[in-house]
């Protein structure tokens, strides 16, 4: 377990040690029992200087795939639902621990509040799928060509930049001059347009199997498709860092909830973050379009259809009873009725094109992927490189870049995750990755 995961567990344990004490064989069981006993003796009373107290009663929140979710993620969600601004919450089946809100957590707050850490550090991290009217068999008959298209048109790594653009018209928007923070980051954003990050960010060719009538104007069959996963790069990361600090300085919360500090949208800093977050969303979309359009141009064919969605964002929405709220989806896919989305697996397991069913209890949400089964440090310590290589050969995967921490075994079983949320989304098509490009192993993960 790496340092961030340990710290997140300790914060959650201090807030509510009971789930850890009840977990058989848990790594933190003895510590949790000690905290409980010390509190009974009055010797471990938290001294907090907070402006806002958490709700004493923990509201119910639904959990999908409960048996596969770590206790720390559940504890983090319990803390989030106790915020005085919390209205409703839900936990998706790919959930695991994060900062503040767990990855896979969905939190609805009062309409005039927004939590930067509940949106996430990689604002508007996004999926994008281009479907080409070409046979999937091209992956086997023209492997070298497709691999070269990725090498020529994709760029990975912290701080990586490009020098040529397909369409940079987003930078004509007046929004880039709206605030001091945005103005200071415009040049960085421009330089990184059309690039991808590290960690679990990827661009890959795959086989898309579509059933009859599943997607409009596309007959059933096996198609060549391009799938990408990345967000708003250094621009979004800098915005997240800046406004998270402001939120934590202005909204003092108990230690276990400090990363859930919010901004008031009726105040300048809240409005500034809202403008920057939405611009990061447009920028993340433009990043994907740069990648897909460059590759399509080199391929000599426009895609028959493109599907895309954010999964680190906040939206103004209404609950089933009409209450206006701010819905934070941190590692969760929008799944309102009829809404199309993409839920990936891993580098050697399927992803899925889905249509939301509009389940109110999930706050119209679904998982954003398979979810991590183990931390990056645990993957490096426990996974065998020979076994990983054998898995890739078995699944006929051509891999460029990546490292042990992104191995398929480091993730939950995507089929189990999809089964757990069958009531939230309808599967329309299956994407099987075949030629995968990720950041080089030397790159430090930033996701």
Q: What mean pLDDT is predicted for residues 45-66?
A: 81
Instruction: Tell me the two tokens of residue 273.
Output: 């973050």
Taking each continuous run of H as one helix and of E as one strand, the counts in the chain are: 13, 16
Q: With cut-offs at 50, 70 and 90, classify the pLDDT of residue 5.
A: low
pLDDT of residue 114: 98
d(CA 326, CA 316) in angstroms, rounded, equals 5
Instruction: Tell me the two tokens of residue 14.
Output: 């201090």
DSSP-derived pairing of the beta strands 365-367 and 332-334: antiparallel
First to last CA, the chain: 17
pLDDT of residue 423: 98
Contact 94, 64 (CB under 8 A): no
Longest dimension (CA), the chain: 73
pLDDT of residue 446: 53
* Mean pLDDT computed over every residue of the chain: 93
Q: How far is CA 338 from the centre of its chain?
A: 21
Q: With cut-offs at 50, 70 and 90, classify the pLDDT of residue 447.
A: very low
Helix (H, G, I), strand (E, B) or coil at 65: coil
pLDDT of residue 444: 59
d(CA 430, CA 447) in angstroms, rounded, equals 25
Angle at 92 between CA 88 and CA 96, to 5 degrees: 110
pLDDT of residue 2: 64
d(CA 370, CA 351) in angstroms, rounded, equals 9
Residue of 105, 447, 117, 124 whose CA lies nearest to 276:
124
Query: Is pLDDT above 80 for 310?
Result: yes
Q: How far is CA 109 from the centre of its chain?
A: 19
Q: With cut-offs at 50, 70 and 90, classify the pLDDT of residue 1.
A: low
pLDDT of residue 51: 78
pLDDT of residue 50: 67
pLDDT of residue 56: 87
Query: Is pLDDT above 80 for 293?
Result: yes
Query: Is pLDDT above 80 for 47?
Result: no
Give the CA count within 13 Å in the CB-facing half-sphere of 262.
24
Q: With cut-offs at 50, 70 and 90, classify the pLDDT of residue 14.
A: confident
Specify the CATH number of the domain 48-438: 3.90.1860.10
Q: At what angle do helices 268-299 and 233-250 cross, to 10 degrees?
A: 160
pLDDT of residue 67: 94
Query: Is pLDDT above 90 for 426?
Result: yes
Q: What mean pLDDT is predicted for residues 433-438?
A: 98
Contact 228, 151 (CB under 8 A): no
* Residues whose CB falls within 8 Å of the CB of residue 389, separated by 6 or more in sequence, listed in order: none
Residue of 250, 11, 245 whose CA lies nearest to 116:
245
pLDDT digit string, tens, across residues 278-288: 999 999 999 99
d(CA 11, CA 9) in angstroms, rounded, equals 5
Query: Is pLDDT above 50 for 22?
Result: yes
pLDDT of residue 23: 74
Query: Is pLDDT above 60 for 61?
Result: yes
Q: Where are the domains of the chain?
A: 48-438
pLDDT digit string, tens, across residues 337-372: 999 999 999 999 999 999 999 999 999 999 999 999
Contact 125, 229 (CB under 8 A): yes
| Burial of 2: CB neighbours in 10 Å, binned 0-12, 13-18, 19+ | middle
pLDDT of residue 243: 97
Instruction: Report which of residues 2 and 36 the model is more confident about.
Output: 36
Contact 361, 62 (CB under 8 A): yes
pLDDT of residue 348: 96
């Amino acid at each position: 377990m790496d340092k961030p995961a340990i710290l997140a567990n300790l914060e959650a344990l201090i807030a509510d040690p009971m789930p850890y004490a009840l977990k058989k064989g848990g790594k933190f069981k003895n510590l949790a029992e000690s905290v409980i006993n010390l509190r009974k003796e009055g010797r471990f009373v938290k001294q907090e200087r907070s402006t806002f107290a958490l709700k004493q009663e923990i509201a119910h929140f639904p959990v999908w795939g409960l048996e596969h979710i770590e206790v720390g993620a559940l504890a983090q969600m319990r803390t989030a639902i106790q915020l005085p601004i919390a209205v409703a919450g839900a936990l998706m089946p790919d959930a695991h621990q994060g900062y503040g809100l767990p990855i896979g957590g969905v939190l609805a707050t009062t309409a005039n509040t927004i939590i930067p850490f509940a949106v996430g550090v990689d604002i508007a991290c996004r999926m994008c799928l281009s479907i080409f009217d070409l046979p999937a068999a091209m992956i086997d008959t023209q492997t070298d060509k497709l691999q070269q298209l990725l090498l020529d048109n994709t760029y990975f790594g912290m701080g990586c930049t490009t020098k040529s653009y397909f369409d940079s018209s987003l930078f004509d928007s007046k929004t880039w001059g709206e605030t001091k923070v945005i103005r200071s980051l415009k040049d960085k954003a421009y330089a990184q347009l059309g690039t991808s990050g590290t960690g679990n960010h990827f661009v890959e060719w795959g086989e898309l199997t579509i059933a009859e009538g599943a997607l409009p104007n596309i007959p059933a069959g096996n198609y060549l498709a391009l799938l990408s996963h990345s967000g708003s790069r250094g621009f979004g990361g800098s915005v997240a860092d800046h406004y998270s600090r402001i939120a934590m300085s202005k909204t003092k919360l108990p230690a276990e909830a400090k990363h859930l500090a919010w901004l008031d949208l009726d105040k300048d800093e809240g409005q500034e973050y809202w403008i920057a977050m939405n611009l990061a969303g447009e920028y993340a979309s433009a990043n994907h379009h740069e990648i897909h359009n460059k590759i399509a141009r080199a391929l000599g064919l426009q895609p028959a259809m493109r599907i895309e969605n954010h999964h680190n964002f906040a939206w103004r929405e209404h609950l089933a009873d009409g209450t206006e709220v701010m819905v934070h989806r941190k590692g969760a896919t929008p799944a309102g009725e009829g809404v199309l989305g993409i839920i990936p697996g891993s580098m050697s397991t399927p992803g899925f094109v889905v249509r939301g069913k509009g389940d109110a209890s999930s706050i119209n949400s679904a998982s954003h992927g398979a979810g991590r089964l183990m931390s990056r440090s645990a993957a490096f310590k426990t996974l065998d490189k020979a076994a990983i290589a054998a898995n890739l050969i078995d699944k006929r995967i051509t891999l460029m870049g990546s490292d042990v921490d992104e191995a398929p075994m480091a993730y939950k079983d995507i089929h189990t995750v999809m089964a757990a949320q069958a009531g939230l989304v309808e599967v329309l098509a299956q994407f099987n990755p075949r030629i995968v490009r990720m950041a080089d192993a030397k790159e430090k993960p930033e996701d």
